[in-house]
Structure 1
């Protein structure tokens, strides 16, 4: 899939699902992060760069094992 994905105030779980489809990967998202609001424009960057940027924005941690990515954290950042 090519093109740009735009997310404006979308829950992280929806963003993760879109990225799973786009990159044919699995994302295990910490339940405490599922409802974090994401504002992002995602283009043709590699998946790992994209996930690193997203996890940085919400103060989470990223781990990779093959095509599976785990994102963990203590919860959504305060606005």
Structure 2
């Protein structure tokens, strides 16, 4: 999960997670107080979900209570 931030270090980590089959979630940069990090993550890798903060908790709950196969590519 990548949230608001001013650097691109999160984008590198997100790309590594995605390369190993992980699911990725990024805060909507239009909502973020500092959009640089979410924007860098979106531009550098294929993100599974771009969500607002209001959407984040329900999504994480759904992912935590679902089987991995439901979301595997």
Q: TM-score, normalised by structure 2?
A: 0.28
Higher helix proportion (structure 1 or 2): 2
Give the TM-score normalised by structure 1.
0.27
